[in-house]
Amino acid sequence: MRKALLFAVAGGVLLSGCVRTGRMARIDPASVTTRSSLQKPLPVSKTTQRTTQEAAPAGASGCALTSQYGGDKQQSIDLDCYRFATSDPDTAYDMATSDRFLEQQRQDARNRLQSVLLNQANFACQLEKGRLYANRATLDAAFDFMSAGFSAASTIVGGDLAKSILSGVAGLSTATRSNINANIYQNQIIPAITLVMDAARKEALIDLRAKSRQNIAEYTADEMILLANEYHQSCSFERGVQLLLNAALNKEGADAIVRGINLRAKAVALKDQIADQLVLKNRLEKQQLDASSVQANVDALQARLQEVNLKLSENAQGVDPITTFDKASGGTR
């Protein structure tokens, strides 16, 4: 009976995780725009609906934010109802596309709508970056729970072998959590992914701003919406991983990223050492003891920190990772 219960709980957790895996790999919501007239959103649970509605203010236009896919955060702008102002008789999309408006009016409306979409994309990206780092807290809690559970079980069960196995698994859970924190969240994958996401978004933003000077025939509102969604989707875990994989095709770009990550980790370690030495120095001075040797250590550590910061600056100026990656895959964007 106990085994069946354990399998049921484990199966439920795994199935729940599978449902969320796709959404965790991409930015949420999948698109910064939606069209309510083209596709009805999929039904969602009452809990999800309540959570997303609380985060979906109506905005200045009176058009509530929504989502194209069931379960996504309701943070997409509905082009079928969004207006720049509640007093406008036409939607923003109509003002940017309808022949009833002069070409210059459509161009102005297109650029204004572009600014609205980019602002919403930036908001979603900030939430996405926060979610990437928040996953660290979730993993910490999970591994702490496992470690505590196995440790407690090892004190309850009978038999030396069972106690030894459970104690070992508890230690493994703690070690795994420490390894994930050290190698993924603090100085490996997540910082590298956010770095390349920011670089990709910066390049896309330059493209969008350059195109905003073109007339409505050269740069239509629909093309702008497509590019704005590409800008939005570049802030996703999947896109960041793809860019990192592309970096592997070009050693210079990959080396620049790894160098920057390692230098930042070294700078953090040096700052921690300096802080420890300063605490020791203050303690010695309060006891009226000689702290000159500790001060010498502080000076040496600060000199090393300055060198690391200088190398960080030089490394940041040396390689544009996105340009380098795209050349490796066949050209720049």
Confidence at residue 50, expressed as pLDDT on a 0 to 100 scale: 42
Q: How many CA atoms lie within 13 A of 116 on its CB side?
A: 24
Q: Name the pTM for this structure.
A: 0.52
- DSSP class per residue in 134-157: HHHHHHHHHHHHHHHHHHHHHHHS
pLDDT tens column, 171-212: 444 444 444 444 444 445 677 777 778 878 888 888 888 899
SS3 content of the chain, % helix, strand, coil (to 5): 70, 0, 25
- Label residue 42 by pLDDT band (50, 70, 90): very low
Which position has the higher pLDDT, 51 or 258? 258
Domain parsing of the chain, residue ranges: 26-233, 252-317
Residue 39 has pLDDT above 70, yes or no: no
- Label residue 76 by pLDDT band (50, 70, 90): confident
Which position has the higher pLDDT, 280 or 38? 280
- The label of the residue with tokens 């910061």 reads 309
Residues forming a β-bridge with 34 = 78
Question: Any idea which of 28-37, 128-137, 206-215, 275-284 has the lowest mean pLDDT?
Answer: 128-137
Residue 107 has pLDDT above 70, yes or no: yes
